[in-house]
Copies of this chain bind each other. A is one copy, B any other.
């Protein structure tokens, strides 16, 4: 029997990264591959207290079916305490089952086959897969150190039927790049001339800035025309599978209808646990500790890389996030082939090929610096150095 799958999934490949992750999860491999936080830094004791509070004071109501949009008290906390650059009501927020679900919902609600989507090159693989499944036409944007080039964006907007622009303005995955303030302003000013285009701002690393306060979100500069996705996966813990989506009402209403058919609502128990955790007022001190440790690991990794591999790799040190993007100086080298040699040395990274929708580039490596401790960072770079 041959099953005819839908066109959505007929060509959907398993995530290259997930395959690499599986390979790199052998216990003796030092993995810089996954986008994983360090589980030793999860706020376990505060989460445990929060869980006790839910069992003691919420009781059965935390375990019943709930509203698709998410708990009002959680949305109110987010609006008041976690969004500083724009005033939002709880009506403009929706709780999602991780920000991956937010991405999927927005794409499903806005994209018909053939519609144009603009992405950065390179960009987050999970987003490229979502866009591919909708049958949209994906166009790649050129960038410099400050963010997307306006000339490249305007030329696409003028010549293609564009519906959506997907941006990661803070500590981009995979490059670690952050858009400058002036580039954010230019981008939102340009998009005001194309009111039918929606800007999708993916901001999962917003709480991981190592050099001071974050710049204003694109959403705050273009509120009626944009959607912002945030996650608790990097700031608290991934397995909560909780994030939020910001959008104006005319968009959010449609997203809610789609979320209803996708999973009814996100876990009310986990939302209650998150509310109790947030109300303990330990998030700020937790994030300060997280940023301190991760910033030190980034410092260490860039130092060791410069010493051991400075003649082989070029990188710009990111100001936040989880990733360091290292370009190979030797244009004859291919990072996908290098990956196989690296696995033989028991060290893993993600080769650049994975992050391109069109015209793959084989000339770079994505290294995660948040999951491994200092000694593993040193040993892992030492193993990497043997490849050259």
Residues of B within 8 A of A233 (CB): 65
Q: Is the pair B198, A254 in contact by a Cβ cutoff of 8 Å?
A: no
A32 to chain B, nearest CB (A): 15
- Flag if B36 contacts A64 (CB, 8 Å): yes
Tell me the bound Cα distance from A4 to B194 in angstroms.
13
Let me know if A51 and B44 touch, CB within 8 A: no
Q: A65 — nearest CB in chain B belongs to which residue?
A: B238
Answer whether residue A316 sits at the interface, using C-beta atoms and an 8 A cutoff. Answer: no
Do A196 and B109 have beta carbons less than 8 Å apart? no
Contact A225 B100 (CB under 8 A): no
- The stretch that binds B, out of A55-63, A287-295, A306-314, A379-387, is A55-63
| Residue in B62, B130, B269 whose beta carbon sits within 8 Å of that of A270 in the complex | B269
- Which chain B positions have C-beta within 8 A of A34? 65
Q: Does A359 contact B (CB under 8 A)?
A: no
Indicate if A110 sits at the interface (CB-CB under 8 A): yes
**A 257-270 binary contact with B (CB < 8 Å = 1; else 0):** 11011111111111
Cβ contact of A264, chosen from B55, B98, B268, cutoff 8 A: B98
A340 interfacial contact with B, CB 8 Å: no
Distance A14 CA – B254 CA, assembled complex (angstroms): 9
Considering the complex, which residues of chain A in the window 215-265 have a beta carbon less than 8 Å from any beta carbon of chain B?
Answer: 224-225, 233, 237-241, 250-251, 254, 256-258, 260-265
Whether a CB of chain B sits under 8 angstroms from the CB of A68 is: yes
**B-binding segment of A5-13, A83-91, A177-185:** A5-13
**Per-position binary interface string of chain A over residues 93-134, scored 1 when its CB falls under 8 Å from any chain B CB and 0 otherwise:** 000011011001000111110010000000000100110011
Nearest residue (CB) in B for A38 is B60
B269 touches A239 (CB 8 A): yes
Whether the pair A39, B60 counts as a contact (CB closer than 8 A) is yes
On chain B, the residues within 8 Å of A198 by CB distance are: 3
CB neighbours of A257 from chain B (8 A): 9, 12-14
What is the CA–CA distance of A324 and B268 in the complex, to the nearest angstrom? Answer: 27
CB contacts (< 8 Å) of A356 on chain B: these are: none
* Contact between B263 and A5, CB atoms less than 8 A apart: no
Alpha-carbon distance between A66 and B18 when the two chains are bound, in angstroms: 10
The docked-state distance in angstroms from the alpha carbon of A319 to that of B50 is 41
Instruction: Determine the chain B residues whose CB is within 8 A of the CB of A330 once the complex forms.
Output: none
Interface assignment of A360: CB less than 8 Å from any CB of chain B: no
Tell me which residues across on chain B come within 8 A of A104, comparing CB atoms. 261-263
Interface residues of A in 9-53 (CB under 8 A from B): 9, 12-15, 18, 34, 36-37, 39-40, 42, 44, 47-48, 51
Question: Which single member of B55, B254, B260 contacts A15 (CB below 8 Å)?
Answer: B260
| A265 B241 Cβ-Cβ under 8 A | yes
Contact yes or no, A44 B65, CB < 8 A: no
Closest residue of chain B to A15 (Cβ to Cβ) is: B260
Mark A168-194 against chain B: 1 for CB-CB distance below 8 A, else 0: 000000000000000000000000000
Which chain B residues border A262 with CB–CB below 8 Å? 100-101, 104, 262
13 new A-B contacts at CB < 8 Å, known A6-B134, A97-B263, A241-B267: A1-B196, A2-B196, A3-B251, A4-B196, A9-B109, A44-B59, A51-B51, A63-B240, A65-B239, A239-B269, A241-B263, A267-B267, A267-B270
Q: List 15 A-B contacts (CB under 8 A).
A: A4-B196, A5-B254, A15-B260, A34-B65, A39-B61, A42-B63, A44-B63, A97-B241, A100-B263, A129-B260, A130-B261, A133-B261, A262-B262, A263-B263, A269-B270
